[in-house]
Structure 1
Amino acid sequence: MERSFKVYIYPDGDPKTFYQTPRKLTGKYASEGYFFQNIRESRFRTHDPDRADLFFVPISPHKMRGKGTSYENMTMIVKDYVEGLINKYPYWNRTLGADHFFVTCHDVGVRAFEGLPFMVKNSIRAVCSPSYNVDFIPHKDVALPQVLQPFALPEGGNDIENRLMTLPIYCAI
């Protein structure tokens, strides 16, 4: 299967909103950023949707939020984009989206998809944290591990005083 498995990435929407690597590859949103960056370069990517096993819907709610988009507008942008894909391409209708996937990280991603309950129900979600009341569906959704940059811990190691002094730094991230 590894030799034949292919993912089609839907074309970009508004270059300021869709399918841009999220605004930073650090902090609690790094997982989303690395996912977007790596799927573009993946050997599993195909430019021929007829050869695809899965379809990636490339939306970065984190990127939209970073540009100051309100949650209400974000929900409408995501809804319009996905409905446009469904109307333009025949692939969603073959499985009602069961062979489609998207990334939702943290409350920003969860709120962006509130206007698309059929997508949340039918498609695969790569969720950066299933603890944000996202109604995680274990038989179809997947957890995307969170990445925290930089990987190195602050100086101090096991010194209890240094660990307590760095606690506010980690809470702010």
Structure 2
Amino acid sequence: MKQLLSRRSSPDKPQQCHQFLKKYYRCLLWISLSIYLFLSTSPPSFHHSPLSRRTLSQTLASPSSLPLSLKIYVYDLPPEFNAAWLSNPRCASHLFAAEVAIHDALLHSSVRAVNHLDADYFFVPVYVSCDFSTINGFPSLRHARPLLSSAVDLISTNFPFWNRSNGFDHVFVASHDYGACFHAMEDVAIAEGIPTFMKNSILLQTFGMMSPHACQEAEHVVIPPYISPEDDRRPPPETARRDIFAFFRGKMEIHPKNISGRFYSRKVRTEIWNKYSGNRRFYLRRHRYDGYQSEIARSVFCLCPLGWAPWSPRLVESVALGCVPVIIADGIRLPFPEAVPWPEISLSVAERDVAGLEHLLDRVAATNLSAIQRRLWDPAVRRALLFHRPGVIEGDASWNILRTLESKVHRRSWRRRSGQPLPDSSVRWA
């Protein structure tokens, strides 16, 4: 009995309780810390927060988050491949001029490799969009394939870099209707396909589709068409006087079956004209006007229907001037989706639904138009789609191209994969 009473009165019980609580709190602290570390290192969800996509694009557009450590050697080709074409000022300013802008950006960028032995990529600067010899003044692409073929023959003869990888680490620009198929008519472009000698290389092209397409049968990066960076110097869309509800100026065929039985714009532009040309809320014009940017800056919605190809310079012009792009091109793949939140700054309308276009625009205008306009006027969004000169500006179109190329460098760079630089070679142009 004494021993039992002695045990009950022993101070060991409070001590045991204290130790138990100490272990409990220590365990709780460890669990909390584990959860915190797990959440802080897990990839964030981009489906719940409306700001998450913008936050992601801002992070990607920061040099500290993704430094541009790649090196690109720019071939110094004879002037008949590029510089000679610049005698025509249009060469550096029309909608296909991304080929000129990217070349210029690389020449003035820190990623340019002075020594070709240090290069991850090799850029082939050939301007194939500057032959304005057609009757209507549009670029002729008839010389594109032979000119590019001549350039490849030249560099493969005078350098060892093309032959060692069969062009795998070489980059071309194809800023045309159907990209590296080099033809404005889709059926002809598909029939001719991408030149065989370019199929191993990386193509920077404005043409992009979600579905498989013969003109995408090579690794490619979808880039924006060229417009002057001066075009974004306008008042914000919410403060500007926008007295045009819906705007389009461009080719609108009343009889779309106008070239060898082909239907222009898959009849979409004709249907828009037939449905809305008599509607005062729709400012539709079929004739060219050099000052049409002022009309875009006055408009709330800018229609961006497909032409022969799905993409259009109006996509970039609308964004630059604060007009909400209304994209009417089924299956189009848009440039730089990581940097440009297209679903938040534009509207997509199926080609078959153009008859209900006015109703859709009215609904947007009555609900979330102001939110779309605010996102549209984010300086980072406009910058991402514009080429600036000279050189590369953080977050601009050239920078986004380089960032995309950097993501492929460990797979594409012969130098990084082999780790064995070739001895220097004497270079003599034929």
TM over 0.5: yes
- Between the two structures, name the one with larger relative contact order (CA 8 Å, sep ≥ 6): 1
Instruction: Provide the aligned C-alpha RMSD in A.
Output: 3.7
Q: Given residue 159 of structure 1, which amino acid in structure 2 is its aligned partner?
A: I
Q: Which residue is 2:167 aligned to?
A: 97
- Residue 58 of structure 1 is matched in structure 2 by 125
Determine if contact 1:29/1:62 at 8 Å carries over to the other structure. yes
Distance verdict in 2 for CA 1:151–1:24, change over 3 Å = farther
Aligned to 2:242: 157
Rounded to whole Å, the distance in 2 between the matches of 1:52 and 1:17 is 22
Give, as a single letter, the amino acid of the residue that structure 2 aligns with 1:42. S
Give the letter for the 1:118 counterpart. Answer: F
| Residue 4 of structure 1, CA deviation | 4.4
1:79 maps to 149
Question: What is the Cα deviation at residue 148 of structure 1?
Answer: 2.9
* d(CA) in 2 for partners of 1:114, 1:137: 8
Instruction: Give distance in 1, aligned partners of 2:246 and 2:169.
Output: 50
SS in 2 for 1:66: coil
1:111 offset after TM fit, Å? 2.1
- Farther-moved stretch of structure 1 (36-45 vs 155-164): 155-164
For the pair 1:18 / 2:82, whether they are aligned, the reply is yes
Match of 2:227 among 138, 144, 148: 148
Q: Distance in 2 between matches of 1:116 and 1:161?
A: 40
Identify if the C-alpha distance between structure 1 residues 41 and 82 changes in structure 2 by more than 3 Å, giving closer, same or farther: same
Structure 2: segments with no counterpart, 5+ residues: 1-65, 184-191, 235-239, 249-281, 293-303, 305-312, 314-430
Distance 1:103 1:143, change over 3 A: same
Cα deviation, residue 135, structure 1 = 1.9
CA separation in 2, counterparts of 1:96 and 1:84?
Answer: 14
Contact 1:129–1:146 (Cα < 8 Å) also in 2? no
Equivalent residue for 1:135, pick from 192, 215, 222? 215
> CA distance change for structure 1 residues 70 and 135 in 2, over 3 Å: closer, same or farther?
closer
Identity %: 24
TM-score (norm 2): 0.33
Are 2:204 and 1:126 equivalent residues in the alignment?
yes
Q: Deviations over 1:43-85 (max 9, x none)?
A: 100121111010001101012x236796444422221221121
Q: CA deviation at 1:38?
A: 0.8
Question: 1:31 is matched by which residue type in structure 2?
Answer: A
Change (3 A) 1:59 1:160: same
Gap change, CA 1:162 and 1:115, over 3 Å in 2? closer
Give deviations 1:92-137, integer Å, cap 9, x for gaps. 1121111000100114863289683121x10000002236x66214
Counterpart Cα distance in 2 of 1:82 and 1:56: 11
8 Å Cα contact 1:96-1:122 kept in structure 2: yes
Distance in structure 1 (CA, Å) of the matches to 2:93 and 2:140:
22
Q: Distance in 2 between matches of 1:136 and 1:76?
A: 20
Q: 1:8 aligns with which of 73, 82, 88?
A: 73
Matched, 1:48 2:118: no
Q: Measured at CA, do residues 76 and 31 of structure 1 come closer, stay the same or move farther in structure 2, by a change above 3 Å?
A: closer
Q: Give, in angstroms, the shift of residue 28 of structure 1.
A: 1.8
> Structure 2 CA distance, aligned partners of 1:159 and 1:71?
36
Residues 143 and 79 from structure 1, CA distance in 2 versus in 1: closer, same or farther, beyond 3 angstroms?
A: same
User: Amino acid of the residue matched to residue 165 of structure 2?
Assistant: T
SS of equivalent residue, structure 1 residue 32: helix
1:156 CA displacement: 5.7
Match of 1:29 among 73, 76, 96: 96
Change in CA separation of 1:89 and 1:162 when aligned onto 2, cut-off 3 Å: closer
Offset at residue 23 of structure 1 (A)? 3.8
Mark the CA change 1:161 to 1:57 in structure 2 (over 3 Å): closer, same or farther: closer
Q: 1:134 to 1:167 in 2, by over 3 A?
A: farther
